[in-house]
Amino acid sequence: MTGVIRIERLEPPDAELLSKVARRAYSDHFLYLWDDGGEAYIARSFGAESLRTELEDAANLYFVSYYGDEAAGFLKLRADSTLPMFGGIAAFEIERIYLAREFKGKGIGKEMMNTAIGIAESMDKQIVWLKVMDGNDASIKFYENCGFSICGTVVLTLPHIKAEHAGMFVMQKVLSGGS
């Protein structure tokens, strides 16, 4: 496996690939959040048919990252997603940015983040935002190193999530065109 990193846009026919990558990357890091080991969430969020429907929705932009020829992670972007705290500011959400454990520390996450921010800038967005588990110190530090700062909190109300893991930070990065 070479160290070449590629980020490729996904289309509806790529739903099976996305499902495989998503299940692997998510399972590597987040099963501890759930009282059912994440089974219900993974089935609902990362099943091929569910993802095919999301890929068909123009509001969603999905990408897979490769390290050499191996799918390493995925990115889900929502170009017109905002929160009330942003008022009328043109906001852009990084809804999911997941990387399989074995690919951490190889620069892939940074390339995925650069891809997302580049797309947001090309759309003249003022803010890029995301949510992160409030106990996920490594991801929070990564996002801070990418220029994001904590700007709010939310609590997940999903079935089977353990209450002690339901807290999330909202983080934002103001883009150069923003104020």
What is the DSSP track for 58-75? TTEEEEEEEETTEEEEEE
What's the CATH code of the domain at 50? 3.40.630.30
Does residue 166 form part of some domain? no
Strands lying side by side in the sheet with 149-155: 5-9, 60-67, 70-78, 91-99, 127-133, 167-174, 149-155
Does residue 174 form part of some domain? no
What's the domain count of the chain? 1
pLDDT tens track for 119-134: 999 999 999 999 999 9
Does residue 175 form part of some domain? no
Domain assignment of residue 97, given as a range: 5-128
Does residue 148 form part of some domain? no
pLDDT of residue 176: 83
Residue 179 has pLDDT above 70, yes or no: no
Does residue 84 form part of some domain? yes
pLDDT tens track for 33-85: 999 999 999 999 999 999 999 999 999 999 999 999 999 999 999 999 999 99
Distance CA 94, CA 75 (A): 8
Does residue 142 form part of some domain? no
Distance CA 136, CA 133 (A): 5
Does pTM surpass 0.85? yes
Does residue 176 form part of some domain? no
Does residue 165 form part of some domain? no
178 confidence band (pLDDT: 50, 70, 90): low
Percent of the chain with pLDDT over 70: 97
Closest to 66 (Cα-Cα) out of 143, 3, 139: 3
